[in-house]
Amino acid sequence: MQAAPFSPIPICGDVVAGRPARSEEFDSGCISVDLSTIGISPNARTFALKVRGDSMTGVHIVDGDTIVLEMKPPHDGAIVAALVDGECTLKRYFVRRGVPYLKAENPKYQDIIPARELVIQGVVVAVFRKA
């Protein structure tokens, strides 16, 4: 039996799971993943980020996790890394009455409606946690 091919995915920085904040871009190596096991095509544009914060605990994404994201348009309800008015955050993406907004999975955080700009950086396709 042949071993599954693992693909290196670069860890490009961090994302705040909390109130939007400036994120740091850094080269923190990579995470090797068998893309077929998480349903991603080998030619997909992917990257990884480290999570800081607690706004997504309701979907079991916690501080210190590494998330893998695919650069693709989000669907309603997708978990995304997004730039909101120039600051980065990790939230669920929704559109209501034609207006996009972001929602935390922790009741202590309010919904975020961009004042000027919302740029989706990637859609979460996998979460990894150190044991």
Start-to-end C-alpha separation, the chain: 28
Q: What is the CA radius of gyration of the chain?
A: 15
Q: How many residues does the chain have?
A: 131
Which structure tokens are listed for 114? 């961009």
Show which residues are catalytic: 55, 91
Beta bridge partners of 9: 31
